[in-house]
Amino acid sequence: MARRYLFLRTFVFFVGIFWLLSGCEKQTKEIYETPEWLGGTSIETLTEEGDCNIYLSLMEIAEYTEPITKQLFTLFVPRDSAFRAYFNKIGIESVDELTEDQARSLFTLHVLRNPRSRFQLIYEWVWGELQGPTGEYAALFFRKQTRSISLPYRETVLYDPNYIGENLIIHTRRNKWVPLFTVDFMEDYFASPDGSDYEFLYRDSEWGGMQWHSAMVTEAEVRTRTGFIYYLDRVVEPMPTLEEYLKDNQDKYGLYYELIQRFARYRTNGTNDQDQQVYVKYYTNPMLDIADEAGPSAGDELIRQDLFTAYIPRNDVLQAYLDENVYPYYSSIDSMPSVTLNYIIQSHITDKLGLKSKIEKGIYNVFGDIVYIDPDNDISDAFMCSNGALYEMNKVVEPYVFTTVPGPLFFNSNYSIFLNALLRADMINSISTPEFKVTVFAPDNEQLTNNGIRYNAQDNIMQFLSRSGLWTNFRLEDLEEFVENHIIKAKITDFSGEGYVEMSSRHYVYYNNNVLYGAGNYEDGDNTGFTDMQDNEINGALYYLNNVIKVPDYTAAELIGNDPELSEFYTLLDSSNLLTTWVDPMSFDTLPVLNFLAETDYWTMFLPDNSAVIQARNDGDIPDDPDLLKDFIFYHFVKGDVIFDNGEKSGIFYTNFIDTVTDQGIVYGELDILNSPGNLQITDQSGQVINVNHDNANKLIDGGVMHKISSIIKHE
């Protein structure tokens, strides 16, 4: 009985397994059977169309027939009539006249690996998520990577010192990105979805709502067994980079192209089939690299959305500009400062796609200037390259710096050192913004050189002559201080009176009847005047100097120590341990410093002379304890204010002496200042009144001003 039961169980088990397997086989067969409505493969579908034969022949020559037969692709297919129109344009009779490389470069502009529906074409899967209609980037990832590459060409090197005069084979071997313009993209880019932006850029194309580069998609999302087909109204012609397009159209843009060759460089890129060395061409900083297929952005994600836009003046337009603005001052382009050339070149290229509706509202150039272009009158032609758009300009696009206060410096070779100092201190934008008024003082090359400041063109760096007599590279903060000591954050056109003015460096300069004295000028016993002034209607005034406005070379501690009348006070600083030394890491000079002065940018120092200190010591008013001595010293330093005896500032001012500490914070010792022109009076907290002798007042120092007084200041 048990054996029969076991047999029945085994029989039922195998019957069940057979039933399951047969059911799975039937189900699997149903799942993987091609639906009848799907039709044939992509190649079968194109063959049945009857007017896609040239596309199929091109596919064969490009050696893509087998991959497309066996794998899944997205095909962009111009019909035979579109190919015949293209062949007629380039002067050939049939596809057979194309070389294998030409055929491959052309065909691969019309195919994408993997099948893509319309939705999948418009919206990309990036950063682990689909950028669908509600995604952060939506349809903005509109560039699609193909297998097409530019064909190699030869070029004679003009300026790269490593290859100058050599004839090189240029071959980047980088894949081209084809733009897919759709209504969805235009809306998400805040451009015009009605096609006006597209047709302004593609002058001989017609907007249909979905464009594969220059071609309209006439029939979309045709599904086949092996992918998708999109039919086009024309052939997408080989896509040059901006670099290649300018090179091939020098009859229109050759002058601009020749200018930028000064920034072109070359590097090796393997060998070709003939075992010849090939090279990649690229552009160095500060110029944007318009030879790069990827465009302005790095990384696979942003490459999909970013393109250059080049606003290139025609040869006649640029020549007229150079004749008027450059050649009156320079004998040749190469005699012009590189910074001037940089601005002329870079003001014509941006790192964002410019479309008509956006250009009309104003665009930002690489310098942060907003540029206004009238598309209908300033742009005469347009062409879309693989890495950006090119607009042919009827005018030169000038950067703000040429039309604002620093503009004349770019076209005067006598001021090239100061111009390079402005550039390397990153001050150009701050003095060329129309919204902010400035006064700029420019010393010429001779004056700067005489004062131990030069521009090292070979290393592209500013240098100064250190105390040790060696040319030393400027630290950025020191260069900024020097440059800002020649800039006022306001427009001033009259220095005929007498007074003090704060520079951008936070140092003060004394002026008297058009003569300027910086703290460093006092140290050297000189001054500077003006040789000329140019009033700029946009944002200020430019003065040409006959000397340098000098920043203080000595620290405040050095000035005190170098003054024989303050030697007793200097001894007090040393006894209180406030006096320390600092070794300059660039020049290795050892300098005495007062570290507490770094707490703020502004100080007024009332320093008792030797007789006052000696008298106070005899009277027992100077403490022996170092901490109490510090308090005594701090009461002579007004913190956070610069007070001259010019009558402008009066009232209660706070010293660096901490009087008390409460729950509400620190209470600093006060001084009551009564100020009238040439007469400064101090009342301390003991009630003592001290009059500052005008002859001993207003010594400009690093961080403010020093007054010598004939009495100590008492807190109690």
pLDDT confidence of residue 666: 87
Residue 24 predicted with pLDDT over 60: no
pLDDT confidence of residue 26: 45
**504: number of Cβ within 10 Å:** 20
- Cα of 681 vs its chain's centroid, Å: 51
Q: For residue 37, name the pLDDT band (cuts at 50, 70, 90).
A: low
Share of the chain above pLDDT 90, in %: 81
Residue 469 predicted with pLDDT over 90: no
Distance CA 443, CA 302 (A): 44
218 secondary structure, DSSP code: E
Q: Among 240, 239, 234, 197, which Cα is nearest to 216's?
A: 234
Interval 442-469 mean pLDDT:
91
List CB contacts of 287: < 8 A, sequence separation 6 or more.
Answer: 260, 263, 342, 345, 346, 349
Interval 254-275 mean pLDDT:
96
What average pLDDT does the structure give for the chain?
91
Is 46 within 8 Å of 225 (Cβ atoms)? no
Distance CA 103, CA 363 (A): 39
**435: number of Cβ within 10 Å:** 6
pLDDT confidence of residue 705: 96
Distance CA 93, CA 87 (A): 6
The model's pLDDT over 543-602, given as tens digits with 9 standing for 90+, comes to: 999 999 999 888 999 999 999 999 999 999 999 999 998 877 666 678 899 999 989 999
Q: Which residues are bridge partners to 679 per DSSP?
A: 676
Q: For residue 33, name the pLDDT band (cuts at 50, 70, 90).
A: low
The model's pLDDT over 99-139, given as tens digits with 9 standing for 90+, comes to: 999 999 999 999 999 999 999 999 998 888 888 998 889 99
The model's pLDDT over 268-294, given as tens digits with 9 standing for 90+, comes to: 999 999 999 999 999 998 889 999 999
Residue 13 predicted with pLDDT over 60: no
pLDDT confidence of residue 5: 43
The long-range contacts involving 82-90, CB below 8 angstroms and separated by at least 24 positions, are: 82/232, 82/233, 82/234, 82/235, 83/54, 83/55, 83/58, 83/235, 84/54, 85/234, 85/235, 86/234, 86/235, 86/237
Structural domains of the chain ordered from first start = 37-145+177-237 (2.30.180.10), 257-398 (2.30.180), 414-545 (2.30.180.10), 556-709 (2.30.180.10)
Distance CA 482, CA 702 (A): 12
SS3 132: coil
Q: Which two tokens stand for residue 249?
A: 């159209």
pLDDT confidence of residue 36: 58
Distance CA 383, CA 343 (A): 24
Least confident of 1-15, 219-233, 467-481, 523-537: 1-15
Interval 349-358 mean pLDDT:
95
Distance CA 143, CA 121 (A): 10
Q: For residue 35, name the pLDDT band (cuts at 50, 70, 90).
A: low
584 secondary structure, DSSP code: -
Q: Which residues are bridge partners to 541 per DSSP?
A: 439, 535
Entry pTM: 0.80
Residue 94 predicted with pLDDT over 90: yes
**130: number of Cβ within 10 Å:** 14
pLDDT confidence of residue 587: 62
Q: For residue 400, name the pLDDT band (cuts at 50, 70, 90).
A: confident
Interval 685-702 mean pLDDT:
94
Residue carrying the six token digits 């349809």 = 139
Interval 366-384 mean pLDDT:
93
Interval 35-59 mean pLDDT:
89
Residue 68 predicted with pLDDT over 60: yes
Distance CA 251, CA 356 (A): 25
Distance CA 96, CA 76 (A): 20
pLDDT confidence of residue 183: 97
The model's pLDDT over 488-544, given as tens digits with 9 standing for 90+, comes to: 999 999 999 999 999 999 999 999 999 999 999 999 999 999 999 999 999 999 999
Interval 144-167 mean pLDDT:
96
Residue 4 predicted with pLDDT over 70: no
Q: Among 647, 646, 652, which Cα is nearest to 682's?
A: 652
List CB contacts of 136: < 8 A, sequence separation 6 or more.
Answer: none
b/e burial code for range 308-331 (CB count within 10 A of at least 16 → b): bbbbbbbbebbeebbeebbeeebe
Q: For residue 27, name the pLDDT band (cuts at 50, 70, 90).
A: very low
Share of the chain above pLDDT 70, in %: 94
Distance CA 522, CA 698 (A): 11
Residue 453 predicted with pLDDT over 60: yes
Residue, of 574 and 467, whose pLDDT is higher: 574
pLDDT confidence of residue 38: 61
The model's pLDDT over 590-628, given as tens digits with 9 standing for 90+, comes to: 889 999 998 999 999 999 999 999 999 999 999 999 899
Residue carrying the six token digits 């290139």 = 312
pLDDT confidence of residue 209: 96
pLDDT confidence of residue 589: 73
147 secondary structure, DSSP code: S
Least confident of 152-166, 213-227, 327-341: 327-341
Q: For residue 322, name the pLDDT band (cuts at 50, 70, 90).
A: very high
Interval 142-155 mean pLDDT:
96
> Counting beta carbons within 10 angstroms of the beta carbon of residue 49, is it exposed (0 to 12), middle (13 to 18) or buried (19 or more)?
middle
DSSP secondary structure of 8-62: HHHHHHHHHHHHHHHHHHHHHHHHHSPPGGG-S-HHHHHHHHSS-HHHHHHHHHT
Interval 701-709 mean pLDDT:
93
